[in-house]
Structure 1
């Protein structure tokens, strides 16, 4: 299983006047890891599908605001 959150470590200049960000996080969409839509994928109920924006659970990618605290791994 692939994770949707990726991290990388940017270059930190010794002359940068700001506090360095030593690790940055970004999200990749789930459709990058599925080459084609296989048959019999698990589905959300109709109400859950409207709330999540997709019918298939494999294509669901929750988004968390970087400005909210406690947002599952995304730096605030």
Structure 2
């Protein structure tokens, strides 16, 4: 599953007549379940406590939210 990225970006058209300062790059996030055709057997699982925090039992479907506006460290 390391061959894909869930965060995508694109460059929208910027008109010279836009009244506001345009965003040069826009981003969106795709869920990881789009890249798994079917659920294979014996997927690694979280413990019950970790699954409640992650929102899913299977580690392959875990997608933490990372704000694109937060400063990278």
- Scaled by the length of structure 1, the TM-score of the pair is 0.83
How much does 1:17 deviate? 1.4
How much does 1:2 deviate? 1.1
Unpaired stretches in structure 1, ≥5 consecutive residues? none
Unpaired stretches in structure 2, ≥5 consecutive residues? none
Match of 1:21 among 20, 23, 26: 23
C-alpha RMSD of the superposition: 1.8
8 Å CA contact 1:65–1:71 kept in 2: the answer is: no
Aligned residue for 2:63, secondary structure, equals coil
* Structure-2 residue corresponding to 1:50: 52
When the two structures are aligned, how many residues end up with a matched partner?
71
- Scaled by the length of structure 2, the TM-score of the pair is 0.87
How much does 1:71 deviate? 6.5
**Distance across 1 between alignment mates of 2:72 and 2:33:** 22
Aligned residue for 1:7, secondary structure, equals strand
